[in-house]
């Protein structure tokens, strides 16, 4: 079991423990006594795990409502959000009540935003069930839905009161979704953790290798905790967590979300790493090793989206200010920095082949 403390405006613990789902009440009880609670999940996760937590909560005296919506990124939108908060209001949930987000990043981001804004904010718990949510989206309090103009454009910072990660749930993830999470994991390697890259080169992450998965989740959560505790609201440092995301978000958006988040981030990282090689910041051997790391984890490294379209879509990025944009630039093996450039220079970083 790992307990990682997140030191932010609201501090909380991330628990990583096999079978943690079965012990929700023992972690939740000291934080929130029995009260009306809404569990939000999607239609793929709910049949697998919702009853485990619902039954436990009800046996302990919580009144439980459930809101289950169709899975997929296209559901992370304003209409779905409105439907959810209307449901919460119909159930007369009050400020002291609780929301539990059970699922991947889509559930966590959307339900988290509902918790951030319903009655100007109620407590919520993240129970990540995808690898991506476990290593990234469930921690740090970023919540949002997508707008037609771009990803995550309507959102809020709202820290959960608890993150409960049960790595056993990752066993039911489709293989493609496991790979999707590996995209965000490899990202952390470039944020000051070259030893993670080394580990994954020697021992690629396998879905059946639970001890390795748990170790890697804990490392990523600690890496994120270190950044979030210094810059919770992304004034600067936290933007590093968006390595690969500037073009990644463009690819996701332009594919109408047929390219998944972690896959798009993988392509975004590959573009930036090739640019870093061209600028002599990393060697040919390092570039090859990085691209191989991605492909070994079944992640894509190429896109046929036109460079102009990638750059145009990236202008909706939250790191764009006026006619400049801050990019996350690899500066050496295992390290990135932040660089603000004019919009017209963005195309130099879209390197599709070397
Ligand atoms: P997702 O929530 O759509 O989950 C992926 C798929 O896996 C879904 O179909 C889901 O039903 C299914 N699934 C989840 N857990 C499962 C399980 N245990 N067993 C079987 N199926 C399961 O997507 P995701 O990849 O988890 O998250 C992507 C989202 O996260 C994107 O919207 C992205 O923008 C967001 N994100 C947010 C942050 C943040 O800091 N808030 C960080 C990174 C990504
Ligand atoms: N994944 C980006 C962030 O949490 O800041």
Q: What is the pLDDT of residues 175-213, one digit of tens each?
A: 999 999 999 999 999 999 999 999 999 999 999 999 999
Say if residue 165 is in the same domain as residue 209.
no
| 120 counts as catalytic | yes
- Judged on CB neighbours under 10 Å (0-12, 13-18, 19+), 274 is buried
Say if residue 115 is in the same domain as residue 203.
no
* Residue 243 located in a structural domain: yes
Say if residue 220 is in the same domain as residue 339.
yes
Say if residue 126 is in the same domain as residue 239.
no
Domain housing 203: 189-349
Rg (CA), the chain: 20
Q: What is the pLDDT of residue 123?
A: 98
Q: What is the pLDDT of residue 317?
A: 86
Q: What is the pLDDT of residue 121?
A: 98
Q: What is the atom index within ligand 1 of the atom nearest the CA of 131?
A: 26
Q: What is the pLDDT of residue 131?
A: 98
Token match 């296209």: residue? 74
Backbone dihedral angles phi then psi of residue 51, each to the nearest 5 degrees: -65, -35
Q: How far is CA 107 from CA 71, 74, 126, 284, in A?
A: 8, 11, 9, 40
Q: How far is CA 3 from CA 6, 15, 286, in A?
A: 10, 5, 34
Contact call for residues 129 and 154 (beta carbons, < 8 A): no
Select from 138, 172, 206 the last residue of a domain.
Answer: 172
Say if residue 162 is in the same domain as residue 199.
no
Indicate the number of domains in the chain.
2
Select from 172, 203, 235 the last residue of a domain.
Answer: 172
* Residue 125 located in a structural domain: yes
Cα–chain-centroid distance for residue 205?
18
| 238 counts as catalytic | yes
* Residue 183 located in a structural domain: no
C-alpha span between 128 and 101 (Å, rounded): 8
Contact call for residues 331 and 338 (beta carbons, < 8 A): no
Token match 């600028």: residue? 279
Say if residue 325 is in the same domain as residue 264.
yes
Q: What is the pLDDT of residue 316?
A: 85
CATH of residue 220 = 1.20.1090.10
Say if residue 270 is in the same domain as residue 166.
no
Question: Hey, whose CA ends up nearest to atom 30 of ligand 1?
Answer: 105
C-alpha span between 75 and 171 (Å, rounded): 24
Say if residue 197 is in the same domain as residue 164.
no
0.95 exceeded by pTM: yes
Residue 316: half-sphere exposure toward Cβ, Cα within 13 Å? 20
Q: What is the pLDDT of residue 212?
A: 98
Residues 67-89, mean pLDDT to the nearest whole number: 98
69 pLDDT more than 90: yes
207 CB near ligand 1 (under 6 Å): no
Say if residue 151 is in the same domain as residue 211.
no
In DSSP notation, 57-81 reads: HHHTT--EEEEEE--SGGGSBHHHH
Residues 141-162, mean pLDDT to the nearest whole number: 96
* Residue 304 located in a structural domain: yes
Q: How far is CA 68 from CA 59, 107, 224, 237, in A?
A: 21, 9, 29, 35
Q: How far is CA 301 from CA 63, 175, 262, 328, in A?
A: 47, 18, 11, 17
Say if residue 135 is in the same domain as residue 240.
no
User: pLDDT tens-digit profile of 22-42?
Assistant: 999 999 999 999 999 999 999
Say if residue 32 is in the same domain as residue 161.
yes
Q: What is the pLDDT of residue 3?
A: 98
Question: Hey, whose CA ends up nearest to atom 2 of ligand 2?
Answer: 241
* Residue 232 located in a structural domain: yes
318 pLDDT more than 90: no
Say if residue 202 is in the same domain as residue 133.
no
Distance 239 CA to ligand 2 centre (A): 7
């Amino acid at each position: 079991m790992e307990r990682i403390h997140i030191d932010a405006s609201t501090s909380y613990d991330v628990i990583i423990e096999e079978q943690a789902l079965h012990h929700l009440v023992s972690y939740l009880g000291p934080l929130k006594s029995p009260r009306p609670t809404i569990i939000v999940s999607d239609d793929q996760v709910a049949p697998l795990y919702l009853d485990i937590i619902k039954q436990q909560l009800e046996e302990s005296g919580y009144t439980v409502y459930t809101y289950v919506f169709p899975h997929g990124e296209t559901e992370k939108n304003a209409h779905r959000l409105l439907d959810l908060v209307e449901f919460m209001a119909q159930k007369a949930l009050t400020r002291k009540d609780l929301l539990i987000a059970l699922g991947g990043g889509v559930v966590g981001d959307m339900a988290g935003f509902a918790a951030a804004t319903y009655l100007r904010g109620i407590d919520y718990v993240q129970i990540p069930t995808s690898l991506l949510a476990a290593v990234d989206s469930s921690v740090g309090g970023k919540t949002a839905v997508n707008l037609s103009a771009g990803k995550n454009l309507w959102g809020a910072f709202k820290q959960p009161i608890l993150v409960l990660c049960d790595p056993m749930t990752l066993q039911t993830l489709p293989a493609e979704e496991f790979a999707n999470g590996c995209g965000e994991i490899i990202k952390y390697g470039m944020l000051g953790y070259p030893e993670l890259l080394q580990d994954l080169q020697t021992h690629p992450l396998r879905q059946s290798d639970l001890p390795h998965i748990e170790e890697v989740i804990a490392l990523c959560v600690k890496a994120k905790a270190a950044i979030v505790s210094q810059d919770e609201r992304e004034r600067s440092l936290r933007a590093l967590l968006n390595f690969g995301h500037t073009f990644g978000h463009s690819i996701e958006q332009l594919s109408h979300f047929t390219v998944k988040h972690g896959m798009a981030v993988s392509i975004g990282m590959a573009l930036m790493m090739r640019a870093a090689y061209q600028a002599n910041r990393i060697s040919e051997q390092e570039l090859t090793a990085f691209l191989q790391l991605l492909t070994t984890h079944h992640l894509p490294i190429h896109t046929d989206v036109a460079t102009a379209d990638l750059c145009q879509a990236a202008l909706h990025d939250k790191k764009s200010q006026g006619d400049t944009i801050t990019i996350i630039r690899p500066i050496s093996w295992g390290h990135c920095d932040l660089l603000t450039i004019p919009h017209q220079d963005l195309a130099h970083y879209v390197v599709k082949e070397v």
